Amino acid sequence: MSFELGFNDPIKITWNVDENGNKISVQMQPESHTVVNGKITLIQIPDKFQKVQVDENIVFNDPSTKVNEYNFYEINDFKTPLGVDKFRVDYQSGIITFYPSHEGKSITVTRYYGRGVILTPSSRIYSRLDEAGNVVETIQNIIDNGQAGISALDDVVNFKHVGDYISGETYSRYNIVSYKGSSFMANIDTSNNPTNSDWTRVSIGSEWQGVYNSANTYGKGNQVIDSANEIVYVSLIDNNTNNLLSDTLSWEKSVDISSVVATAEGKITDVTNLESTVSTNENGRESAETTRVSQENTRISNETSRVDVEDIRDTNETSRIGAEIIRESNETTRQSQESDRQTNTATAITNTETATINANTQGDYANLQGDYALTQGDIASVESSNLSTLKTDVQTATTNANTATDSADVSAINANTQGDYALVQGGYAKTEADRLVATDASSLQTEITDNSDKIGILTGAGATAEKADKEYVDTHLAETMPHLIVDIDNGKTYRHGRRFKDGGMQTIWEEVV
């Protein structure tokens, strides 16, 4: 059997409207429903903007169960799993889903606004499928068959003698009336005269006796009906007593509606079978729904586990990202420190090179100063040598003046000592040499003067020595003071030489500009 659904029986929604035909939401009275397969269905489609409120106090169907209080909360997404205190509303169908533990409990919806009702035609609700899964029966088929059975039962009920025909009266199908000595049965519901085609004559000149009773005595032409109210019989003889209706010599069938009754009973049986099938299918549906709810709970549990794992993954990912940020920050710090290290290293190398250059410069300067000191020592040595020569000349000239000679020897020795010290002390030696030379010359001159009376004979020799000393000084002056020295405190350069003045030898200085 196949079904083709027409366009004359679609699902319909009857909306609540005001006097102007505008759709409105109407506050509904509290509704109590029993949770079946985890769900209840509201009478009307709820208004999503007004929400749905479920009573906090729930009295369970089980009398042994005490009143439990729940603070129910509506959840609006399908990701959050249902909990014992949560429910989810389908605002398209008016179905509310609860946690499985509420199965069989009575729950009161205390407040919601209804938008209207959804009407589903019976032709779109199937009751039976074949092995291939095709729809072979709908609720509409059951209704149609039931209505046919009810109609047949009505016909059986109407199959009775209702008395003499009354003009203007409406008679039902299968009603039997007496009219002008004959019996007539209505073919359809009618108010026409029995002579009309709406009627069928079932006997002539007979008298209706009702249900057959074997204890009664029937005359010829009397009509009876069997106990099953299916067949009308006419008596063929007078004094017809205790003769079974099956006795064809005593009775004759006049009207047989057993087929109608069989049809009605068949329809009733069909309805009974369909009800059994519907019940079986409903049990199967409930079992399948229970399985579906169990699978849905498993899915929700798995989804919850998946969400938990995903949350852990997100947490780990957040930690990883945080660690990566720290690593990148540390790497940035390391790179900055490495850059600073390289800069510091380069600076240190530069400083080292600069220090090396400075050290080398200072070394060179020290070498120059050493060379200068050596030069000054050489000068002092030369000066000392010159003084020694002068001393020898004086000693030769004053051979006979022992005192003068001894003094000259002492001065010479002192001059030599100062010359040696000048070799070590550098610039200081030069100054000391100058001082010694001046001192020695003055002392020598004093001694010569003091002993002139003793060494008058040597005057000529003294003149000769003075002349030689002056010539030595003049020679250095002639060189334009070639000896240079640098003052390390002020960085100025000086040149120096020798001169003879006031009867003695002097060192002269001049800044080089």
Name the more confident of 293 and 241.
Answer: 241
Out of 49-58, 216-225, 325-334, 416-425, the most confident range is: 325-334
Measured CA to CA, the distance from residue 58 to residue 102 in angstroms comes to 10
Across 40-49, 142-151, 442-451, 478-487, least confident range? 442-451
Structure tokens at 437: 């030379």
Tens of pLDDT, residue by residue over 385-412, are 766 676 676 566 656 555 544 654 555 5
Measured CA to CA, the distance from residue 82 to residue 96 in angstroms comes to 12
Per-residue pLDDT at 462: 44
Distances (CA, A) of 441 to 336, 390, 457, 462: 75, 10, 20, 12
Instruction: Report phi then psi at 399, rounded to 5.
Output: -60, -40
Measured CA to CA, the distance from residue 190 to residue 186 in angstroms comes to 7
Structure tokens at 64: 């042994």
Proportion of the chain above pLDDT 90, given as a percent: 17
| pLDDT higher than 90, residue 20 | yes
Quote the radius of gyration of the chain (alpha carbons, Å): 75
* Residue ranges in 90-166 assigned as alpha helix (H): 139-158
What one-character-per-residue DSSP string does 393-406 give?
HHHHHTTT-HHHHH
Name the more confident of 300 and 271.
Answer: 300
Span 23-52, mean pLDDT? 92
Distances (CA, A) of 402 to 184, 409, 411, 448: 208, 10, 14, 12
Per-residue pLDDT at 383: 67
Span 455-463, mean pLDDT? 43
| pLDDT higher than 70, residue 303 | yes
Measured CA to CA, the distance from residue 289 to residue 282 in angstroms comes to 10
Structure tokens at 218: 């029937």
Span 441-454, mean pLDDT? 54
Span 135-161, mean pLDDT? 76
User: Cβ contacts of residue 396 below 8 Å, gap of 6+?
Assistant: 461
Segment (H or E) for 471: helix 459-478
Residue type, 474: D
> Do 448 and 462 touch, CB atoms closer than 8 A?
yes
Tens of pLDDT, residue by residue over 85-98, are 889 999 988 999 99
Going by C-alpha positions, the residue among 488, 484, 512 that lies closest to residue 362 is 488
CA angle 40, 41, 45 (to 5 degrees): 145
pLDDT category, 498, cuts 50, 70, 90?
Answer: low
Out of 51-65, 331-345, 371-385, 492-506, the most confident range is: 331-345
Per-residue pLDDT at 399: 66
Tens of pLDDT, residue by residue over 352-375, are 888 778 777 777 776 777 777 677
Question: How many helices (DSSP H) and strands (DSSP E) are in the chain?
Answer: 5, 28
Per-residue pLDDT at 477: 47
pLDDT category, 209, cuts 50, 70, 90?
Answer: confident
| pLDDT higher than 60, residue 40 | yes
- Domain ranges within the chain, ordered by starting residue: 12-120, 367-511
Across 39-48, 56-65, 260-269, least confident range? 56-65
pLDDT category, 24, cuts 50, 70, 90?
Answer: very high
> Do 511 and 491 touch, CB atoms closer than 8 A?
no
Name the more confident of 62 and 177.
Answer: 177
Measured CA to CA, the distance from residue 161 to residue 63 in angstroms comes to 55
Structure tokens at 353: 């090179």
**Average pLDDT score, the chain:** 75
Let me know if 397 is exposed, middle or buried by CB neighbors in 10 A (0-12, 13-18, 19+). buried
370: helix, coil or strand?
helix
Measured CA to CA, the distance from residue 279 to residue 128 in angstroms comes to 11
> Do 230 and 256 touch, CB atoms closer than 8 A?
yes
Across 155-159, 212-216, 224-228, 391-395, least confident range? 391-395
Query: Pairing state of beta strands 493-501 and 251-256?
Result: unpaired
Name the more confident of 422 and 274.
Answer: 274
How far the first Cα of the chain sits from its last, in Å, is: 135
Span 304-323, mean pLDDT? 87
Per-residue pLDDT at 456: 45
| pLDDT higher than 60, residue 429 | no
Per-residue pLDDT at 264: 64
Span 442-448, mean pLDDT? 55
Measured CA to CA, the distance from residue 388 to residue 391 in angstroms comes to 5
Per-residue pLDDT at 201: 79
| pLDDT higher than 60, residue 421 | no
202: helix, coil or strand?
strand
Distances (CA, A) of 88 to 7, 293, 338, 371: 33, 14, 61, 107
> Do 423 and 429 touch, CB atoms closer than 8 A?
yes
